[in-house]
Amino acid sequence: MIQPRGGRNSNPVFLLLILALVLPAAARAGEPAPRRYTSVPASADGIGKVYLGREIARVTSFHGAEWLERPERVEEERPELLLSALELKPGMAVADIGAGTGYYSWRMAQRVGAGGTVHAVDIQPEMIKLLERQMSQRGAANVKAVLGGLTDPGLAPASIDLALMVDVYHELEYPYEMLTAIVHALKPGGRLVFVEFRAGDAAVPIKPLHTMTEAQVRKEAAVHALEWVKTAHDLPWQNAVVFRKPR
């Protein structure tokens, strides 16, 4: 603090005024952040962290990358149905969040064409290397690998027409922060699509913690500036829940 000329100001009124200005700011700075997450004993497939009533699942390691490229995935997931529901257009900028080996990245790249870009985001450097190798082999020059973080995918603000998360959201360690960053990266009117294995469906042979109900997806998306558009129920094992950022 700059002292007035002539030494320390001992005027009691002056000191009270300074305290009145400083103390509220100090109190605000010391306030705890909202308690978005709670801790529980970790289940076999979880991390012991709960968000809006859901325990977050463990991340699928790059060691399981072969499962992402299994031949039977075409029948189990029918990717052409999902791609049709995405309504991709040439020239679009799209993001594949949690892209893994790029199973959907190169498929989307074909639809957005040479004038479009697919930002393939993953948090594992090892997975990024596998993705880059796959894209090179497939000649997908318009796929750009992006090493993201736990709370931010590393995308420029208002740069993305559509963001896709396939069997990924339930594993995000910081779902609130990551969704906030993804919404920030969407253009006004841009869409965000959650694709998750259907919870509670006996025909879906996936561990329960790696599934989600449509209601839970919509509950967690409702915390953000997102409007529900539609839900595609015609995939064999998954739901595709589509949201839009308001214009």
Residue at 14 is within a domain? no
Residue 131 parent element (H or E): helix 125-138
* pLDDT value at 26 more than 90: no
The neighbour count for residue 213, using CB atoms within 10 Å, is 15
pTM above 0.75, yes or no: yes
pLDDT digits (tens, 9 = 90+) for 76-131: 999 999 999 999 999 999 999 999 999 999 999 999 999 999 999 999 999 999 99
Place of tokens 């009117």: 189
In this predicted structure, what is the pLDDT of residue 231?
Answer: 98
Residue at 226 is within a domain? yes
Instruction: Kindly state the tokens that stand for 49.
Output: 């962290």
* pLDDT value at 13 more than 50: no
SS3 assignment, position 46: strand
DSSP state of 31: S
SS3 assignment, position 231: strand
The answer to whether 164 touches 95, Cβ cutoff 8 Å, is yes
Per the structure, the count of domains in the chain is: 1
Residue at 164 is within a domain? yes
* Closest among 99, 101, 110 to 155, alpha carbons compared: 99
Domain enclosing residue 211, as ranges: 62-244
In this predicted structure, what is the pLDDT of residue 2?
Answer: 32
Instruction: Kindly state the tokens that stand for 203.
Output: 């025909």
The values of phi and psi at residue 121, to 5°, are -105, 135
What CATH number did the domain enclosing 125 receive? 3.40.50.150
pLDDT digits (tens, 9 = 90+) for 192-222: 999 999 999 999 999 999 999 999 999 999 9
pLDDT digits (tens, 9 = 90+) for 219-232: 999 999 999 999 99
Instruction: Kindly state the tokens that stand for 220.
Output: 């967690």
Q: What's the mean pLDDT in 65-82?
A: 94
The answer to whether 199 touches 213, Cβ cutoff 8 Å, is yes
In this predicted structure, what is the pLDDT of residue 63?
Answer: 85
CA–CA dist 111, 92 (Å, integer): 9
Residue at 73 is within a domain? yes
* Closest among 135, 184, 144 to 160, alpha carbons compared: 184
Residue at 57 is within a domain? no
Q: What's the mean pLDDT in 30-37?
A: 67
Place of tokens 């199973």: 103
In this predicted structure, what is the pLDDT of residue 6?
Answer: 42
Q: How far is CA 63 from CA 97, 100, 166, 215, in A?
A: 19, 11, 18, 31
